[in-house]
Amino acid sequence: MFRQSFIAFSIVLLATSGALAKKEPAVPSAAAKQKQLALVRVNVTGQSYDYFRPWQKKAPFSKRALGAVLPKGRVLVTADLVANQNYVELERAESGEKTAANVRVIDYEANLALLEPTEKSFLDGIKPLEITSDTVVGDRLAAWQLEPTGALLATEGLVTTVQMTPYPIDIGQFLTYRISIPMQYRENSYTVPLVKNNKLAGLLLRYDSRSQLLDAIPAPIITHFLKEADTQDYRGFPSAGFSFFPTRDPQLREFAGEKSKGGVYVTNVEPGTPAMKAGLQVGDIVTGIGNHELDENGNYVDPLYGKIEFTNLLTAHAYAGDAVPFHIQRGGKPMQLNLTLEHRDAKDYVSPPYNLDQAPRYSVVGGLIFQELSRQYLKEWGPNWQREAPQRLVYFDHFQSELFPERNRRIVILSQVLPANSTIGYDDLAYLTVTKVNGKEVKSLDDLAEAVKHPIEGFIKIETEEDPKQIELDASQVAAEAPALQENYGISSLQRLQ
Amino acid sequence: MKRIFVIGYVALLLVPFAYAQQQSTPAPPPGEPQVPEQQPGASRSTPPGQAVVPVPVPIAPPKPNGPVQKSLVRITATSVEPDYRAPWNAGGLQRGVGAGFVINGNRIMTNAHVVANSRYITVERDGDPNKYPAKVQFIANDCDLALITVSAPDFFKNMVPLKFGGIPALESTVSAYGYPIGGERMSVTTGIVSRIDFQLYTHSSIDQHLTIQISAQINPGNSGGPVMQDAKVVGVAFQGYSGDVAQGVAYMIPTPVIDRFLKDISNGHYDEYPDLAITYAKLQNPAQRRFLGLKDDDRGVLVSSVIAAGPSDGILRPGDVLLVVDGHPIASDANVELNGEQAQFEEVVERKFRGDSVKFDILRDKQPMTVTIKLYKPWPYSLQGHSYDVRPRYVLYGGLLFQPLNLDMLEAYRFTDLRLRHFFEYFILEQIYLQHPDVIVLSNILPDPINSYLAPYRGEIVDEINGKKIRTLDELAEAFAQAPERIVIRMIGEGPPLVLDRDKVAAARERIKTRYNVLQEQNLEEKPASGLASTGR
């Protein structure tokens, strides 16, 4: 027993001395500690919308995190932290002084947000963090957290990879630093700045405590976000609107008439996107973007990181509105296309990939609940939504560009049925896609709300893609029953179309 | 009646009694990790080391049913399970034990799942040390029944054929006989009739028939054994829930299903169940009833879909209301009264045979009509059920294995691909079979220098080859046989074509065959895997 505790003690000693011995510039110097840290606590109270009961919000949540203080009195946090917020509060680390804050700009796709204190003088005395974009593989970064006392807690980690990975919203891929780091849990671990030489190098994106691997939103993405945030209208990160496939296979290269090296095969060009407008076609081989050549897997050689996927050229380096020259081969002939990049808004999808800080649209007709399909709705099934949500709806969401090439529509679903007199016998219906109401095609909830107003001989007839194919309601009964339905199920309003 | 696959069914756990392990039942959502169940066969011997509590073996069966030992046999079947991941191989050997009983005509009745895929069967009887080789005479995989026979001349001499009774009354006592785990000799358990209902038959895992639920303890090895009342067989024990899902819930195949099977084979051939191939909805909503012009009499069901490959195509339409089937009024919850029992209206169709007709009084656009449907079995359903006693179909070309999509193949690979699952589940409802009678999947790749970069195509569905739509596996084989120098295979969905160089494929042929021990590069016909079984296909 005695022996055991002795061993444990010696290990602790070793660990401590090791950290002391390895003191690197990543950890701020004693002098820096004396100054006001460029960190504030961020307290967020929020409520997510309840997609299963779309007229209400879920129970409030609260999150405590850190924000990095930037020039011009702004505080950088992740979008995750402040999505669906009701109230954001900043708290000085050392004094505990608090003030309310506004979300000035938020980009859900890049997972970044800028906060501004309502009290302008709140950040006085704090020297803002500068941003350093020169982090490369092998660098050491320090994760800054705060002890309950307000003292700094710094942990050091090694940047092991720089690569493109999907961010939580899962639209395209963004540059990411992967850092091997033994993070310690603190109640404010939600947003954690990563610092190199007292400059901001990244922001925690996700952390896997088992493998002790941290993914960080890197400085180039933060810089891009900040630059865009300075413009009048924040537009978001640009995209080109095509999908691609490697051309490693010599048989495919030969088929495509591609004789030189490199390039990716264009597999799909989405209607209405910059790629389509510029005339990119399925079967084209994209061999270069700007001055960069692409290899067979779609990587270019980045001066900082070496080989990395070309989409980094479009997200980190280019802005919406930029014209980017694409070098392609079509039928063996080289061509150049200029793509004027645009940001694709969530609302420009048939099944929007996210919908945050906005109330979901719905319509309740006599106990039948109609909603528009969105990934936000599917995510209500939890982290394994792709397996657990109704598979037919997941299929529609996943293959939306193939199944619904016309972009200006929504998929209206009968999501569930509230038992009432008018819905007797319909109680088990759920997750049906609505094709027509009262004979009129339904391509949005607005179509549905309009069509419901025109019953056929006193009946509201709803047609669905799936069985039972047709559902009828008595229009006058629906109207008469509406107050009781609202009362019974606590539905504040029977529809929300805004 | 066929079960239509629709996503969202609650997965229950049912085990045909011959299975030793769980198998998830209603339409196992393809791709869902399945317990690698031991294939149908029958009960395994008790694993060594398992604590066996000595329980006295029942010495004599309850008197009312007479000396059942004189009719009961223990069946040991050795079967070969097709290997869908290496379809050129014969497959894995399995051995299982089930029960059977002698009926008139020197025949032994048992469950299809006891003898499906079997290569060698022996039967034993009480008080006789011999094992007698047996052969399958008829097997009905859609209702899990089979008849086997023993050629030894004396075998049936002292055996007493059992007679069949009717549907036992609810709450009446029944006894189940068989050779379940727990001992070597015959076991008898009793229980009461708990419920008479339609249930999924997990052996095919697509067919639903009348089933009687009993509370008698039934375990692996009871499969195929008789369930008796008043010295008559009132059912054949066949499936139940595994103990961790529900206890005291066991199912037997009732005599209407058995009678139908015996009648079906009386012409020397099993024709399988015909099916209307429609889906319908109950008509319990008053507003909907008024909209359709129905009286307030609680009658009628609404036709939702009519499958083009089925016998109702061109006769029934979506939106029709079925009011009366062969003179039996259909209630709005789809029930009819048959011999004083409530049953789903499909039971009327269930008891018919291929070529028989069924008459419906319907309401179409508020006008009454009478229609007659001549019944047959629509082919597309077979994709969604298990197949037995057949060799898997496949084509291997350039190390690429192409297989038609079906339940067995999907389970073997555990594909989770959304598109594959959609094609599987909506094969019938969205009439995918019209465009793709075979949904041909690039299911596996045997690595070779000619296919080094083709892994991303795995799990995709073939759409066309060199501009020609590929509808069946035969057409695929033909397209490869007639291939020009460059073969361009387009898959469904976005993605580049898969391009193969014919001459390179030819050069790699022997190399791949040798390296992976491929005995045969294709099997286009779902021919019986052994001479023993007559599948009725």
CA-nearest of B20, B21, B115 to B75 is: B115
Q: Which of A267, A394, A459 is the closest to B287 by Cβ?
A: A459
Q: Is B321 found in the same domain as B236? A: no
Domain closes at, from B105, B120, B150: B150
Whether residue B422 and residue A391 make contact (CB cut-off 8 A), yes or no, is yes
CA-to-CA separations, B148 to A441, B135, B267, in angstroms, rounded: 58, 5, 16
Taking contacts as CB-CB distances below 8 angstroms, the residues of chain A near B498 are: 252
> Which is it for the CA torsion A452, A457, A459, A464, positive or negative?
negative
In a domain, B143, yes or no: yes
Q: Do B453 and A249 touch (CB under 8 A)?
A: yes
From A431's Cα to the closest Cα of chain B, the distance in A is: 9
Q: Is B53 part of any domain?
A: no
Q: Which residue of B has its CA nearest to A250?
A: B453
**CA–CA dist B82, B384 (Å, integer):** 17
Q: For residue A375, what are its two tokens?
A: 């990934």
| d(CA B487, nearest CA chain A) in Å | 10
| Closest CA–CA distance from residue B290 to any residue of chain A (Å) | 9
* Interface residues on B facing A, Cβ-Cβ cutoff 8 A: 6-8, 29, 279, 281-288, 290-292, 302, 304-305, 318-319, 416, 418-419, 421-422, 425-426, 429, 452-454, 456, 486, 488, 493-501, 504
- Domain definitions of chain A by residue range: 21-123, 131-229, 242-340, 350-496
Task: Tell how strand B107-110 and strand B118-125 pair up.
Answer: unpaired
- B477 and B370 in a single domain? The answer is no
Q: Chain A residues with CB inside 8 Å of B290's CB?
A: 459, 474
Same domain, B167 and B20: yes
Q: Give which of A423, A460, A458 is closest to A450, Cα–Cα.
A: A460
Min CA distance, A432 vs chain B (Å)?
A: 11
Q: Is residue B137 included in any domain, yes or no?
A: yes
A477 secondary structure, DSSP code? H
Closest by Cα among B129, B118, B126, B64 to B101: B126
Tell me what the pLDDT averaged over chain A comes to: 90
The answer to whether residue B108 sits within a structural domain is yes
Write the class of the CATH domain A242-340: mainly beta
**Which pairing describes strands A199-208 and A130-131: parallel, antiparallel, or unpaired?**
parallel
Length of chain B: 537
Confidence bin at A460 (pLDDT 50/70/90): very high
CA distance A196 to chain B (A): 40
Residue B52 maps to a domain:
no
In which element (H, E) is residue A262 found? none
Residue-wise pLDDT for B69-98, tens only, equals 899 999 999 999 999 999 999 888 999 899
Closest to B495 (Cβ–Cβ): which among A256, A267, A469? Answer: A267
**Is A267 in contact with B494 (Cβ distance < 8 A)?**
yes
What are the φ and ψ backbone dihedral angles of B250, each rounded to 5 degrees?
-130, 155
**Which residue has 């008139």 as its token pair?**
B104
Q: Which residues of A touch B504 (CB under 8 A)?
A: 251
Residues B240 and B169 in one domain: yes
Using a CB-CB distance cutoff of 8 angstroms, which residues of chain A are in contact with residue B334?
A: none
Residues B228 and B316 in one domain: no
What number of helices (H) and strands (E) belong to chain A? Answer: 13, 29
CB B450 within 8 A of CB B399: yes
More confident residue, B353 or B526: B353
Q: Which residue of A282, A387, A468 is in closest CB contact with B302?
A: A468
E strand or H helix at A275, and its extent? helix A274-278
CB contact under 8 A, A252 and B456: no
Distance, in Å, from the CA atom of B93 to the CA atom of B80, rounded to the nearest integer, reads 5
CATH superfamily assigned to domain A131-229? Trypsin-like serine proteases (2.40.10.10)
Minimum Cα–Cα distance from A476: chain B residue: B287
With a cut of 50, say whether residue A167 has pLDDT above it: yes
CB-based contact B501 A426, cutoff 8 Å: no
Domains A21-123 and A350-496 share a fold: no
B290: its two tokens = 């008024």
Is residue B409 domain-shared with residue B470, that is, in the same domain? yes
Total of domains in chain B:
4
CA dihedral A115, A118, A120, A125 (to 10 degrees): -60
Q: Three-class SS of residue A60?
A: coil
Whole-angstrom CA distances from A375 to A173, A350, A355, A378, B67 are 17, 10, 8, 5, 65
Residues of B within 8 A of A466 (CB-CB) are 6, 429
A399: chain B residues, CB-CB within 8 Å:
418-419, 493
Q: For residue B306, give the chain A residue with the closest CA.
A: A467
Which tens digit of pLDDT belongs to each residue from B318-354?
Answer: 999 999 999 999 999 999 998 888 889 999 998 999 9
Q: Which neighbouring-strand residues pair with B374?
A: B357
> Residue B233 maps to which CATH number?
2.40.10.10
Determine the pLDDT at residue A463: 97
Q: Do A469 and B501 touch (CB under 8 A)?
A: no
For residue B229, which of B291, B186, B178, B173 has the smallest C-alpha distance?
Answer: B173
Looking at A290-352, which runs of residues are DSSP E strands?
Answer: 292-293, 299-302, 306-309, 323-330, 333-340
Query: Does the beta-carbon distance from B291 to A472 stay under 8 Å?
Result: yes
Whether residues B348 and B298 fall in one domain = yes
Residue B417 lies inside a defined structural domain of this protein: yes
Verify whether the Cβ–Cβ distance A468 to B493 is below 8 Å: no
CA B223 to chain centre: 15
CATH class, domain A21-123, is mainly beta
Question: B interface mutation test: which of A255, A423, A435 has the most B CBs within 10 A?
Answer: A255
| Cα nearest neighbour of B288 on chain A | A472
Q: pTM score, two decimals?
A: 0.87
| B2 part of a folded domain | no
- Residue A261: pLDDT band (50, 70, 90) is confident
Coil, strand or helix at A380: helix
Distance CA A445, CA A411 (A): 9
Look up the CATH number of the domain holding residue B493.
3.20.190.20
Please list the residues that pair with B228 across neighbouring strands: B175, B233
pLDDT digits (tens, 9 = 90+) for B1-58: 565 443 333 233 334 444 333 333 333 333 333 333 333 333 333 333 344 444 444 4
Of residues A398, A467, A474, nearest to B281 (C-beta): A467
Looking at the fold, whether B305 and B405 belong to one and the same domain comes out as no
Tokens of A415: 């999501």
Question: Do residue B421 and residue A391 have CB atoms under 8 angstroms apart?
Answer: yes
Point out the least confidently predicted range of A6-15, A429-438, A486-495, B281-290: A6-15
The pLDDT value recorded for residue A101 is: 96
Q: Least CB-CB distance to A268: which of B421, B453, B494?
A: B494
Q: Comparing A8 with A59, which gets the higher pLDDT? A: A59
Q: Tens digits of per-residue pLDDT, A12-41?
A: 333 333 333 333 444 444 444 445 789 999
- Measure the CA–CA gap between A396 and A410, rounded to whole angstroms: 11
Pair type for strands A323-330 and A306-309:
unpaired
The reported pLDDT for the residue numbered B286 is: 95
- Which domain CATH number covers B341? 2.30.42.10
Residues in B closer than 8 angstroms to A250, CB to CB, are: 453
Q: Which residue of B has its CA nearest to A398?
A: B418
Inspect the interface and report whether the beta carbons of B287 and A474 lie closer than 8 Å.
yes
Beta bridge partners of B407: none
pLDDT digits (tens, 9 = 90+) for A174-212: 999 999 999 887 765 677 899 999 999 999 999 998 999
Across the interface, whether the CB atoms of A466 and B6 are under 8 A apart is answered yes
State the residue for tokens 């957290």: A145
**Is A350-496 CATH 1.10.8.50?**
no
- The partner residue sitting opposite A472, judged by closest CB among B8, B288, B504, is B288
Per-residue pLDDT of B375-427, as tens digits, reads 999 999 989 999 999 999 999 999 999 999 999 999 999 998 999 999 999 99
B232-269 burial string, b = 16+ CB within 10 Å, else e? bbbbbbbbbbbeeeeebbbbbbbbbbbebbbebbeeee
Of B6, B285, B456, the CB nearest to A426: B285
Q: Are B362 and B390 contained in the same domain?
A: no
Q: Is residue B50 part of a domain?
A: no
Helix (H, G, I), strand (E, B) or coil at A260: coil
Q: How many secondary structure helices (H) and strands (E) does chain B include?
A: 9, 30
Q: Which of B123, B150, B177 is the last residue of a domain?
A: B150
Tell me the nearest-neighbour CA distance from B318 into chain A, angstroms.
8
- B494:A243 CB<8 A: yes
Q: Is the dihedral of CA A346, A347, A353, A356 positive or negative?
A: positive
Residue by residue, DSSP assigns B464-493 as EETTEE--SHHHHHHHHHT--SEEEEEESS
Q: State the pLDDT at residue B59.
A: 46
For residue B200, the enclosing domain spans 13-28+163-267
CA neighbours within 13 Å on the CB side: how many for A278?
Answer: 25
Q: Taking all residues of chain B, what is their mean pLDDT, rounded to a whole number? A: 86
Is residue A237 within 8 Å of residue A110, measured between CB atoms?
yes
Nearest to A398 among B291, B418, B488 (CB): B418
Contacts of A395 (CB under 8 A, 6+ apart): B418, B419, B421, B422
What would the mean pLDDT of B102-115 be, rounded to a whole number? 95
Last residue of a domain, one of B106, B128, B150: B150
Rounded CA Rg of chain B: 25
Pairing, β B173-178 against β B145-150? unpaired
Pairing of strands B107-110, B92-103: antiparallel
Q: A287-296 pLDDT, tens per residue?
A: 999 999 999 9
What end-to-end distance do the CA atoms of chain B give, in Å?
18
**Active site amino acids of B:** 113, 223
- B490 plus B419 within the same structural domain: yes
